[in-house]
Amino acid sequence: MKVSPLFRCTPGRRAGAGAALLGLMMLGLGLLARRVEAVPSFARQTQLPCTACHVGGFGPQLTAFGRQFKLMGYTMKTGNGANVPLSAMLVESFTHTARAQVDPPASGFSRNDNTELQQASVFLAGRLSEHVGAFAQATYSQNGGLLGWDNMDVRYANSFNAGKHNAIWGVSLNNNPTVTDVFNTAPAWQYPYMSADLAPGAPAMPMLFGGLGGQVIGVNAYLQLDGRWYGEVGAYRSLSPSFLRKVNAGFDGRLASTAPYARFAYTWSLPAGELTTGGFYLHARRGLPGVNAAGQAVAQPGPTDRFDDFGLDASYQRAFGSDHRMTVNALYVGERQKLDATYASGASTYHTGRLSALNLAASYWYQDTWGATVNLFADNGRRDPLLYGNDGKPDTRGGMLEADWNPFGHADSWARPFANVRVGLQYTWFTRFSGRVHNVDGAGRRASDNNTTFLYVWLAI
């Protein structure tokens, strides 16, 4: 989904050390380009099928075992053989909107019916030592034509016992708040797991929805106690604009100070499934970017905008025998804003603002092969004519229906643990867009004209 520059979710990317990482990943792609699976280096490392860690046998939605694998720093290993922790991913897609868009969604594309190499990624993903593991991604997209860094999560993890209690603890170096999370309610990993980037989307979202992604570096410490209690605290700082340019990342302004992040959750193991509830908190103060003589975004002094995000989430998983599995995920995030920088620049009508986002998703899988998902979303905000135009409200509501086919990923699948593929057909509808049902853009376009049919093939090796 697209969002306004103030709240843009920009894919991350990096330099120096980042350039070396990209080079290593590209080399690994050349060495391993053989077959397919969802970050299959994990499956090669553990000698387990993808269904052990992923609902539907394909990422990113995690099973209970998959969550423990991530908490242990991606280090679990079976056997003594060497395993190169490298993988690759490719997504080809087709996007159709109910009515052609007023302008092409991006350079080199048409107003409607676009095919796209949406994503080509390489991963450094797996065990690096007994207690250290990594999930680091570099991504190329036809929309933009650039290769740069994406999500990064490098961990040290260990475990201990104290009396009747057992615990997993760890430290993560990462570049996106919530990318460390093991629950698929977190903004970095919530549904939709793949969506159209050449179709209209919510005009504004809270900062927790990727607003700092790829532009920051953070350190998080986490603890899981008795397999039930989970807590995580961290802090993030901005990376320099020059560094981000070298890795083709966006820059939306420098954080004025450290941005704290906190996460908690509790899991009940029930006879009828597993239920988790929890919450999020993020505080960030960020200035607006300036532009240098070369037209490049740079940090500039001046007032800052303040964002306080509070989130509540819940998830439920249940298996019915070996053939049937259902999941339900819910997330609500409310954001309070103090827009001193945006107001001083003349881009907002008021000093303060609010945003909220609600996402509900329920999925059913048969034999971890055939899946169906229904999703409802409601993104709302306080009225501000300068910031949002038209009615001055970003309110956007609707839903999604998706059908998926994952033919591989099982213990007896062809070419396991090298092969995986997902074919997905997704339909998105809007009942309100940018605060309106009719004339959402001032040129007669209705909210339903943005309804989108999205077909994709997602390969992994």
What is the model's pLDDT at position 13?
Answer: 34
What is the residue extent of each domain of the chain?
Answer: 5-460
- Please give the CATH number for the structural domain made up of 5-460: 2.40.160.10
Which pLDDT score, from 0 to 100, does residue 339 have? 97
Of 44, 135, 124, the closest CA to residue 415 belongs to 44
- The pLDDT score that the predictor gives to residue 81 is 66
Of 63, 139, 84, the closest CA to residue 315 belongs to 63
Structure tokens at 291: 């532009």
Say how far apart CA 165 and CA 158 lie, in whole Å: 15
Left, alpha or beta for 197 (phi > 0: left; psi -120 to 50: alpha)?
alpha
- The rounded average pLDDT for each run of 10 residues, N- to C-terminus, in the chain (461 residues) is 35 37 38 42 87 90 95 88 84 97 94 97 93 95 91 97 95 97 96 96 94 96 97 97 92 95 97 96 96 88 96 96 95 98 95 97 96 98 91 94 93 77 97 94 91 96 87
Tokens 């990096």 correspond to what residue?
A: 14
Give CA angle at 210 (358, 454), nearest 5°: 70
> What local confidence, expressed as pLDDT, does residue 82 receive?
66
What is the pLDDT, as a whole number, of residue 28? 36
Neighbours of 130 (CB within 10 A): 11
pTM of the shown model? 0.89
**Any idea which residue has 């993104």 for tokens?**
379
Per the CB < 8 A criterion, the answer to whether 435 and 447 are in contact is no
Q: What is the pLDDT of residue 282?
A: 98
Measured CA to CA in angstroms, residue 5 lies from 285, 372, 388 at distances of: 16, 33, 11
